[in-house]
Structure 1
Amino acid sequence: MKVVVMGAGVIGVTTAYYLARGGAEVTVLDRQAGPGLETSYANAGELSYGMTSPWAAPGVPMKALKWLFMKRRPLFIWPLISPTMWKWGVQMIRNCNEESYRVNKGRMVRVSNYSRDVMPDLIAETGIEYDGREQGTLQLFRTAKQMKGSKADQEILAEYGSPYEVLGRDACIAVEPALAEVRNKFVGGLRLTADRTGDCRLFTIALAESCAAMGVDFQYGQSIRGLAVEGGRIAGVDTEIAGRITGDAYVCAMGSYAPSVLNPVGVKLPVYPVKGYSVTLPVTDDAFAPQSTIMDETHKVAITRLGDRIRVAGTAEIAGYSNRLGPHATDTVRHVIGDLFPKGGDISKAEGWTGLRPMTPDGTPVLGPSRYDNLFLNTGHGTLGWTMACGSGRAVADAVLGKTPEIDLDGLTAARYGG
């Protein structure tokens, strides 16, 4: 079987790996000059198995209004004249209720936990290195109100079997010793012990190299113009340079740009970009730097240790497909690293970045078959593409190869949107 995978981010490359491992002849297309150069390039670095939750949750609309008035706010909304944007927003608000939240979270945890379970096998099989650590995530609370409010999260973590620890100030410092320097700035935390960290781009590059050694053909610099349909099936991928590239089956792993090729052929997905920002800076003193991941609950900013670097990521900006990195775009993430780890890294050498997270209004990715029997989907992971990559890649590859995926894809496919 010849399979064409559209997209060479972490989602597309993991899918290609499992397809090749299953015996398929695989071609991967991407408009960039190499793998992992868009959303996978400089994300937070968290493998957030314990924090797998939809953004659409009870109370979020009111929280969002409050965030808009914060000095260093975690959310920006630019009211564009875009029916797509407003429709997506309305759909998201409709999911902000208890019943929808539990359904959507259950679907997301299904993928996340599967990814957690299969990733170690992939690492063992390939031997790839990616600055990985297995020291959990510490959700840091600056106020007693936040600490108290985490009880609802603890109940959900317990319900889904996600291990956690509730920590006071001293226990947080035992886990992250550098926090002793700022002990007056927080009251406690919630530690998610099963979470891991790692550089998504390093992982994607290394896995792409393993794929190439298995015979996967990576064609970079190939901008996709659209899909050709003949006789009720996908007949090929039309590119600007190579023309039409054909296969027996096709996988769309184009993140936020998936609708640009799917909508014209009748596969309507409400995937919309939510922009995020990060800075990466060198560690100056290990004793004053983070050891794993700290999530600042107030600013919704993640600080992650990646080898001899620190990655600081956050902010959600709804502004269409803009990739502009303005002069003040990373102010919030810079403030947080300076506030919590002032001696840990050299902020003067910080490299800023922005990327587009492919979000669905219910938070759940779109995996597996579509209305065309030879077109499969792997997109819509939002902020959890790195977390869910191995699980969704393996499940989709199994579906393409005619195998029964090891997780139930019910509620995860495009059928829930009529696609």
Structure 2
Amino acid sequence: MKIVVMGAGVIGITTAYYLAKQGAEVVVIDRQMGPGQETSYANAGQLSYGMTSPWAAPGIPVKAVKWMFMKRRPLFIWPLISPVMWKWCAQMLRNCNEESYRVNKGRMVRVSSYSRDVMPDLIAETGIEYDGRQQGTLQLFRTAKQLKASKADQDILAEYGSPYEVLDRDGCIAVEPALAEVRSKFVGGLRLTADRTGDCRMFTIALTEKCIGMGVEFQCGQSIRSIAVENGKIAGVDTEIAGRISGDAYVCAMGSYATGVLNPIGIKLPVYPVKGYSVTLPVTNDACAPQSTIMDETHKVAITRLGDRIRVAGQAEIAGYSNRLGPHATNTVKHVIGDLFPKGGDISRAEGWTGLRPMTPDGTPVLGPTRYENLFLNTGHGTLGWTMACGSGRAVADTVLGRTPEISLEGLTAARYQK
């Protein structure tokens, strides 16, 4: 059986790996010249199993208004004349209630927990290196109000069996000793002990090499013009250079760009590109640098240790398909690393990056079958593509090959958006 996978980010590559592992002939198409060149390139590096939750939550509309007036605000909304953007925002607001939040979170946790369970097997099978660590995530609270508000998160973590620790200031310093330098700037934290970290791009490139060794064919530098439909089935993927590439089945793992090829064939997904920023800088003093991931609750910025580097990522900018990296775009993430770990890394050597997260208004990815019997989806993971990659890749691969996935896809397919 020949499968065509559209997209060579971490989602597409994990899907290709699990397909090839089960004996399928696989072709991967991507417009970039190599794997992991877009959203997978320089994300936060978090494998956020404990922090899996939708952005659409009770209280978010009020918080969003407050964020817009912060000097170093985590949210930007550009007033574009875009019906698609405003419709997506309205859909997200409709999910900002307790009932929707619990349904959506349950669906997301189903995928992330499965991913957490299967990823160690993939690492053991392949032996790939990706600067991985297993030291958890520390959600850092600068105010007593934030610490008190975390009780709601603790209740949800307990409900879903996600291990955590509530830490005072000294407890935070015990797990992240470098914070002793700035102990007056925070009051406590919530540590998610099952979370891991790692370089998503390094993982994607290494897994690509394993896929090549398994016989997977890569068609890089091939922009997809359209998906061809004949007699009610997908007949091929039309590219600008190679022409039509055909197979028995197809997986669309194109992130934010999935809608461009799916809309013309009648699959309407509310996947919108939410822009994020990061900087990567070298560690200059190990004793003064982070050891795992710290999430600054005030600025919604993650600081992650990746080997001899520090990755600092955050912000949400709703501005369409803009990849522009302005001269001041990374000021917020640079401020946070300088504020919490002033001696840990060399900010003057920070490399800036921006990428587009494929967000759904309910936060849940879109996996599995479509109205076409030989077209499958693996997109819409938002900020959690790295976290969910192995789980969603394996579940979708099983579905494509006619096997029953080990997790239910109920509520995860495109069917939830049908009227």
| TM, length-normalised to structure 2 | 1.00
Q: For residues 73-129 of structure 1, what are the alpha-carbon distances to aligned partners after superposition, in whole Å with 9 as ceiling and x for unaligned?
A: 000000111111011000000000000000000000000000000000000000000
State the partner residue of 1:398.
398
Structure 1 CA distance for aligned equivalents of residues 371 and 163 of structure 2: 38
5 Å-filtered alignment, 1:18-417, equals 18-417=18-417
**What's the secondary structure of 1:384's corresponding residue?**
helix
Structure 1 CA distance for aligned equivalents of residues 88 and 23 of structure 2: 38
- Counterpart amino acid of 1:231? N
Q: For residues 386-408 of structure 1, what are the alpha-carbon distances to aligned partners after superposition, in whole Å with 9 as ceiling and x for unaligned?
A: 00000000000000000000000
Runs ≥4 residues deviating over 4 A: none
Structure 2 CA distance for aligned equivalents of residues 218 and 183 of structure 1: 50
Structure 1 CA distance for aligned equivalents of residues 412 and 147 of structure 2: 33
- Counterpart amino acid of 1:157? L
Structure 1 CA distance for aligned equivalents of residues 81 and 258 of structure 2: 21
Tell me whether 1:9 sits opposite 2:4 in the alignment: no
Shift of 1:145: 0.2
Structure 2 CA distance for aligned equivalents of residues 242 and 218 of structure 1: 12
Structure 2 CA distance for aligned equivalents of residues 270 and 27 of structure 1: 27
Structure 2 CA distance for aligned equivalents of residues 27 and 36 of structure 1: 16
- Counterpart amino acid of 2:361? P
Shift of 1:296: 0.1
**What's the secondary structure of 1:150's corresponding residue?**
helix
**What's the secondary structure of 2:91's corresponding residue?**
helix
Shift of 1:203: 0.1
**What's the secondary structure of 2:152's corresponding residue?**
helix
- Counterpart amino acid of 1:206? A
Structure 1 CA distance for aligned equivalents of residues 141 and 375 of structure 2: 44
- Counterpart amino acid of 2:270? P
Q: For residues 152-173 of structure 1, what are the alpha-carbon distances to aligned partners after superposition, in whole Å with 9 as ceiling and x for unaligned?
A: 0000000000000000000100
Structure 1 CA distance for aligned equivalents of residues 328 and 76 of structure 2: 13
Q: Which runs of 5+ in 1 are unaligned?
A: none
Structure 1 CA distance for aligned equivalents of residues 115 and 216 of structure 2: 22
- Counterpart amino acid of 1:228? A
Shift of 1:272: 0.2
Q: For residues 195-238 of structure 1, what are the alpha-carbon distances to aligned partners after superposition, in whole Å with 9 as ceiling and x for unaligned?
A: 00000000000000000000000110000001000000000000
**What's the secondary structure of 1:322's corresponding residue?**
coil
Structure 1 CA distance for aligned equivalents of residues 179 and 91 of structure 2: 40
Structure 2 CA distance for aligned equivalents of residues 194 and 12 of structure 1: 25
Structure 1 CA distance for aligned equivalents of residues 335 and 46 of structure 2: 20
- Counterpart amino acid of 1:131? D
| TM, length-normalised to structure 1 | 1.00
- Counterpart amino acid of 1:7? G
Structure 2 CA distance for aligned equivalents of residues 295 and 404 of structure 1: 37
Paired residues in the alignment total: 419
Structure 1 CA distance for aligned equivalents of residues 26 and 201 of structure 2: 21
- Counterpart amino acid of 2:394? R
Structure 1 CA distance for aligned equivalents of residues 41 and 28 of structure 2: 18
